[in-house]
Amino acid sequence: MASTVVDVVMPQMGVSVSEGTITRWLKQEGEAVAFDEPLLEISTDKVDTEVPSPGAGVLQRILVQEGETVEVGTRLAVIAAAGAEPSPAPASAPPQAPPEPAAAPERAEPEPAEPGPAPAVPGAGDGRSFVSPVVARIASEHGVDVARVPGTGHGGRVTKKDILAYIESGGAGAPPAPAAAEPAAPPPPGPEAGPAPTAAPAPPPPPAAAPGPRVPPPPAEAAPPPPAPPPPEPPAPAPGEIVEPMTAMRRGIAEHMRRSLDTSAHVTTVFEVDMTKVVAIREKLKPQYQAAYGVNPTYLAFVARATIEAIRNWPWMNAEVRGESIVVKQYVNLGIAVALEGGKGLIVPVIKNAEGYNLLGLARAIADVAERARAKKLVPDDVQGGTFTITNPGGWGAIIGTPIISQPQVAILDVEALVKRPVVIADEAGNDVIAIRPMMNLCLSYDHRLVDGAYAAQFMKELRENLESWDEATY
Amino acid sequence: MPELTYLQAISDALRGEMRRDQRVFVIGEDVGVYGGAFKVTLGFQEEFGPWRVIDAPLAETAIVGGCTGAALMGMRPVAEMQFSDFVSCAWDQLVTVAAKQHYRAGTPVPIVVRLPSGGGFSGGPFHSQNPESSFAHVPGLKCVCPATPADAKGLLISAIEDPNPVLFFEHKHLYRRIKGDVPEERYTVPIGKARVHREGDDVSVVTWGAMVYTASEAAVALERDGVSVEIIDLRSVVPWDRQTVLESVRKTSKVLVLHEDTHTGGFGAEIAATVAEEAFEDLDAPVRRLAAPDCPVPFSPPLEKAFIPQVEDVERVLRELAEY
């Protein structure tokens, strides 16, 4: 009996990802599963995700249990055609071998004239993670999550036709990107239709179910499944609600923020800093820097420079909890949180080896990454490898914040607004007087798993001293 | 409209231009009394006389060198290489003199060199080659590769009119096998404008010369299985019609570049690279190339069949692309 079985394998979630951990099985042995239905959740060092079922049938055997970490390509489970007995084989027996070619000759090459035969797709799902350039572009233009599109290409890859059919069938559940939105104006008078909108959706492709050899049927021999099972529909929007799909960036932020809170023991401490000296020095340097270098020495640059200097004596601020180990970085890769226009996201470009910059270099580097972040000119390398992050909501007037740490770092510094406040200081004679001083709050969120309150406070105290007694010769 | 063979169309075009323009003359090995190795110039010497239909010694350097000089003096020479393979002897005159003359001295060199090319008849390593890629790499030369009788006529007339040196690669396998309607009147086909040989939606084939027909047969076979193949006949490789190729790639997102010349450094590499550079975001599969293997053309019929891309080879690659 040659019942078709489909292997579920650990997918490749990114070029540099070599292993993944099973976080949860969404189906148990013996349960029926549909093609493309979420089957399990996995976690890698880059991303956590659901893995859709590469075939339809019954989850016959789970080979890798929750919590286990295995290499990409490892078999995780076996799905058998519907009706198969759950786990009939003895536990020690190897999983079912490929069916014996009883009558059919080895299908080395597809028979050209014979329509319909499905080339056996070993380990379907291998190809799913590869997104071709045109599919990536269409997905981006239409805000489609490629992982939700049923793939008919090699190894289950999503082809251009698949994604066009998915969008055509309304699967995207979203209007096309703004650029593609064509006002519903009447066509201009005249014999010729107006110019085609540049980003208009391509002509409707043939339905996914069109007969043809290019569409290998799902590898199980279950009853013919629906050709393109739509993903589970979210509840329809209520009146007055506008629904839009999350962008990949928004999903990434959501996942990362949640995971960070689940990972680190967040504590926030706030220090007040008297910026009188920094303000004076900045007033002096600003025209010089702008005339000579075209660079604005921002308060952020001063704070960043003083922070890097303080890290020198408090290295656990620039460290990572890796398993049971503490990894201290001997360099400072400084992440600078940059908000994108219109609240459409946040990105944290990294200034590599920031400890090597003086104030001028740091100001220039911050301006450079911020500019490239807003112009979407960053390359993946620009956002990786951060060891400490600074965020700067003070520009909008914020005075206190409790930022969330960017994993796997252990601290993030929140630079707040510079505000003139009445403060009590000592005059020359040692008497208390009330003075008007430019004050700034610095809020540090740190991971209490590694950094204790006293350590964090001492780091902040040094940071404050660096700023209040700014030494031009050093910085 | 008369139906002519590819060879008759070339012959007619040449004869017509000689009647029309006294500056046009032909020169080559056995082109006169004998009428040419393939009889393209049969009867020409009787009509135009030995001064306009010149039997040259077996010296391609002399033929092309003489043409270049005559062109500089205002003539419109049309040289015939008996087989395109022999053009290597004329390399220096073509590459060093004719191709560079305009850039060096500002004078045009309006010569046409006809090159009977291609294999498929057990001609072996010296009578079967497709050397267009070598010359495509030389700035200053145009390289034309017609596939149909109508194009052969219209492109040859354009080549004779063109102020640049033009290499006219005629495929020998098409000479008498391919017939088509050819307008009787004089017309030109612009050099550098590709032709959509067959429209399709799923996969594009970019090719030229005899491979247009190989691709065509493969496309018919795939059509039975619901795969729609578009075939672009480039018609010339220098200049080549990027726009038509890129439009087709943007439509189908999958492309096979096919040629009879050998693989490495073949002109297909240039096309594949251009597609990758300019249509990357439209690709749904790797750009594929199919060409002859990197070795001389074998004599043995079964080996030659294994060497020149066959219909089944094209079918196989097209299926791989369709299923990708």
- For residue A157, the chain B residues in CB contact (below 8 A) are 324
Contact A213 B323 (CB under 8 A): yes
What is chain B's mean pLDDT, rounded? 97
Residues facing A38 on adjacent strands: A52
Picking from B221, B284, B316, the nearest residue to A160 by CB comes out as B284
* CA–CA distances in Å: residue A457 to residues A267, A268, B223: 11, 10, 74
Cα–Cα distance between A392 and A413 in angstroms, integer?
Answer: 8
Cα–Cα distance between A418 and A84 in angstroms, integer?
Answer: 69
Q: Each residue's pLDDT tens digit in chain A (475 positions)?
A: 445 788 898 876 654 557 778 888 998 888 888 888 889 888 765 455 778 888 888 898 899 988 888 887 888 999 887 655 544 444 444 444 444 444 444 444 444 444 444 443 333 445 667 899 999 999 988 888 898 898 888 888 999 999 999 998 886 554 444 443 344 444 444 444 434 434 444 444 444 444 444 444 444 444 444 455 555 566 777 888 888 888 877 888 899 999 999 999 999 999 999 999 999 999 999 999 999 999 999 999 999 999 999 999 999 999 999 988 999 999 999 999 988 877 778 889 999 999 999 999 999 999 999 888 888 777 777 888 999 999 999 888 999 999 999 999 999 999 999 999 999 999 889 899 999 999 999 999 999 999 999 999 999 999 999 999 988 877 7
Reference B70, options B93, B36, B92; nearest CA is: B93
How many angstroms separate the CA of residue B280 from the nearest CA in chain A?
Answer: 6
Q: What is the pLDDT of residue A376?
A: 76
End-to-end CA distance of chain A: 77
B51 pLDDT above the threshold of 80 = yes
Give the chain B residue whose CA is nearest to the CA of A157: B324
Q: What is the pLDDT of residue B133?
A: 96
Percent of chain B predicted with pLDDT > 90:
99
How many angstroms separate the CA of residue A350 from the nearest CA in chain B?
Answer: 28
SS3 for A10-63 is: CCCCCCCCCEEEEEEECCCCCCEECCCCEEEEEECCCCEEEEECCCCEEEEEEC
* Burial class, B14, CB count within 10 angstroms (exposed 0-12 / middle 13-18 / buried 19+): buried
- For residue A118, the chain B residues in CB contact (below 8 A) are none
Contact A137 B283 (CB under 8 A): no
Contact A160 B202 (CB under 8 A): no
Contact A212 B323 (CB under 8 A): no
- DSSP H or E stretch at residue A79: strand A75-80
Q: In what order do the strands lie in the sheet with B112-117?
A: B53-55, B24-28, B76-80, B112-117, B166-171, B142-144, B236-238
The three-class DSSP label of residue A421 is strand
The three-class DSSP label of residue A313 is coil
CB-based contact, A203 to chain B, within 8 Å: no
Reference A264, options A456, A412, A470; nearest CA is: A412
B206 pLDDT above the threshold of 70 = yes
Chain B interface mutation, best of A140, A160, A215, highest count of B Cβ atoms under 10 Å: A160
DSSP-assigned states of every residue in A355-385: GG--HHHHHHHHHHHHHHHHTT---GGGGS-
Cα–Cα distance between A407 and A317 in angstroms, integer?
Answer: 13
What ipTM score was computed for the predicted complex, to two decimals? Answer: 0.79
- For residue B324, the chain A residues in CB contact (below 8 A) are 153-154, 157, 159
- For residue B282, the chain A residues in CB contact (below 8 A) are 133-134, 137
What's at A403, amino acid-wise? P
Structure-token match 């003139």, residue found? A420
Chain A interface mutation, best of B247, B248, B253, B315, highest count of A Cβ atoms under 10 Å: B253
More confident residue, A140 or B63: B63
Cα–Cα distance between B171 and B233 in angstroms, integer?
Answer: 14
Surface of A (153-182) touching B: CB under 8 A: 153-154, 157, 159-160
**From A48, A126, A452, A471, active-site residue:** A452
For residues A82 and A223, the answer to whether their CB atoms sit within 8 Å is: yes
For residues A17 and A43, the answer to whether their CB atoms sit within 8 Å is: no
Neighbours of A200 (CB within 10 A): 12
Structure-token match 């004089």, residue found? B186
- For residue B311, the chain A residues in CB contact (below 8 A) are none
Sorted by sequence, the CB contacts under 8 Å of residue B62 that are 6+ apart come out as: B56
Please work out, in degrees rounded to the nearest 5, the angle formed at the alpha carbon of residue A471 by the alpha carbons of A466 and A473.
140
Tell how strand A334-336 and strand A388-391 pair up: parallel
For residues B209 and B258, the answer to whether their CB atoms sit within 8 Å is: no
What is the phi/psi pair of residue B141, to 5°?
A: -110, 140
Q: What is the pLDDT of residue A231?
A: 54
Q: What is the DSSP letter of A154?
A: G
Query: Tokens in use for A264?
Result: 């680190």
What's at B251, amino acid-wise? K
Q: What is the pLDDT of residue A217?
A: 42
Query: Tokens in use for B128?
Result: 């079967």
Query: Tokens in use for A191?
Result: 């014999």
* Burial class, B215, CB count within 10 angstroms (exposed 0-12 / middle 13-18 / buried 19+): buried
Give the chain B residue whose CA is nearest to the CA of A204: B201
Question: How do residues B258-289 score in pLDDT, each as one tens digit?
Answer: 999 999 999 999 999 999 999 999 999 999 99
Question: How do residues B102-150 score in pLDDT, each as one tens digit?
Answer: 999 999 999 999 999 999 988 999 999 999 999 999 999 999 999 999 9
How many angstroms separate the CA of residue A82 from the nearest CA in chain B?
Answer: 26
Cα–Cα distance between A408 and A253 in angstroms, integer?
Answer: 14
How many angstroms separate the CA of residue A107 from the nearest CA in chain B?
Answer: 14
Query: Tokens in use for A5?
Result: 């079985």
CB-based contact, B277 to chain A, within 8 Å: no
Q: Which residues of B are catalytic?
A: 127
For residues A150 and A165, the answer to whether their CB atoms sit within 8 Å is: no
